[in-house]
Structure formats: C-alpha cells, structure tokens
Amino acid sequence: MEYVTLNNDLKMPILGYGVYQIPDHKECERCVIDAIDTGYRLIDTAQAYFNEEAVGNAVEKSGVKREDLFITSKVWISNAGYEKAKASIEESLNKLKSNYIDLMLIHQPFSDYYGTYRAMEEAYKEGKLKAIGVSNFYPDRLVDLIKFNEITPMINQVETHPFNQQTEAHEIMKKYNVQIEAWGSFAEGKNNMFSNEVLKEIGKKYNKSIAQTALRFLIQNGVIVIPKSTHKERMKENFDVFDFQLSDDDMNLIKTLDKKESLFINHYDPETVEFLSGIH
C-alpha cells in the first residue's frame, strides 16, 4: 500500500474502498468485510449513504484492529450548522462503534457549512476526528473556507476520473496543501469507460485491466481513490495496482482524455442545489 501524508502529518492510504449505493446493511457489511480481508484499510462512508452502522459492524467483525483502519464519513446537508453537525458527528461515532473517526468531510458546499466546519474543528481538537475536510468544494468555495477558518481542510473529495481530471482544481489544492481525493474514479462507466481504446491499449502493455490502468493513472497523479465493487474478485483486481508504473508517455496520453467537465452534476446549477437540499 502507498500512503499520502495529510497537512496535519496523518498518514492515509492512497487506495480505499467506497460504500456509496450499498444501503442494504447485510450486503454492505459483507462487502466491507470482504474489502478488509482483501487488504483495504481505508473505508469511505457517509451519513447520506445510510450504512454507517453496517460499516461499524463490519469493522468490529473483521478481526483487524481499529487503529489499523482509516474510516471516513461525511456530514450531510440536513445536518448542517454548528449544533446539528455536532450532534450528527456523535451519531456517526455511535453508528461506527468508534470513539474517533479518521476523517470527517462536509459532504456538499450548501447550507450553513461554516457552522458545520466549526463543529468539526471542535471535534478535531477534542480528538474525536483525526482529520477534517470537505467534498465537492469548487476552488472558489474551498479558498473562501480556508481564508476564514482556523484549520485548513486536509482533504477535498471531488469527482475525478480520466474524463474529468480536475487539473486546475488540483493546482489550487496543492497551493493550500489540501489533498485531493476522488469519487467516481471509474466515471461509473460513463463515456464507455470500460471499453475506452486508449485505456485498453495502455493496460495491455502492463497486463492490466482498464480499471487498473485508470486507478494507477490517478494514484500516480497523487489522487486518493476509493473504488467500489460488491464482488470480491473485482475488489482484488482494483487493489492490485501497486506492482506497475505507467510511463510518462502513457500518463500524457491518458491526460488527453480530459473533457474538463462533470459527467454527473454541476454544483453551480440551481436545480442541483434544489435537488441535493431536498435529500434527508
């Protein structure tokens, strides 16, 4: 496993396992146990995924020491604001059956995320959160948050994949020493990701799949990745990306796939804000 060092000197695995869209508790519990058994040590959940309890149960049953795992969760919009966020952090701790969470993020840049961040800063100082950060913050909102808060976020988790590489946003994060983390690293199969000829031909050189090639590209760019699969064999495949290195030429070729726009969501769109704000 390769690690990144966050701006508070905490080490975080560069490859983890995400549990988005696995709301069934038994299924999620099985998947997390399989992932941990495969070797994953970073598990990414969120209040809005409705499976924190399943992750907590899986961690408890895994046989791996809690301190050897890195658990991420996220505060949802409906829990925004100091008091609500503070209460929701305690609820997440209880659901995850832990007295600390390794990383807590603000899930979306809406509602009173300043109040949320104050609650997270407080919990961080108390040791309940080992690191804090944000998710889906575009560069303008990220810089705004940094400029007017005491603690610089350690992470910004944003849509990042070969078709939306976040090059400009990544440069802003580097400037402020904020680590980039990807969601949707396979673009959820959009743009015919899993039949892309460029990724396929590059992968053949290394005897690797398109998925492995995409993950390796992101990892070599210093991006934390959290691919999800409910199949253990695919989990193993996604984990097997540390025994090869893409050449500079191959990296540059993949960079040409960048469309520089989201395949999923535009946070500047009022309809997006209306939709996300309606989820409880």
Active site residues: 49
DSSP 8-state class, residue 188: G
Burial (CB < 10 A; 0-12, 13-18, 19+), residue 66, is middle
Confirm whether residue 25 is marked as ligand binding. no
Burial (CB < 10 A; 0-12, 13-18, 19+), residue 67, is exposed
Strands 3-5 and 11-13: antiparallel
Q: Which helix (H) or strand (E) holds 158?
A: strand 155-159
**Phi, psi of 62, deg, nearest 5:** -70, -25
Direct distance between the N- and C-terminal alpha carbons of the chain, in angstroms, rounded to an integer: 36
- CA distance linking residue 56 with residue 209, whole number of Å: 32
Reading across the β-sheet that carries 179-183, which strands appear in turn? Answer: 17-18, 42-44, 70-75, 103-106, 132-135, 155-159, 179-183
Please name every residue paired with 15 in a beta bridge, in sequence order, or none if there are none: 225
254: helix, strand or coil: helix
Give binding residues for substrate as ranges. 107
Give binding residues as ranges. 107
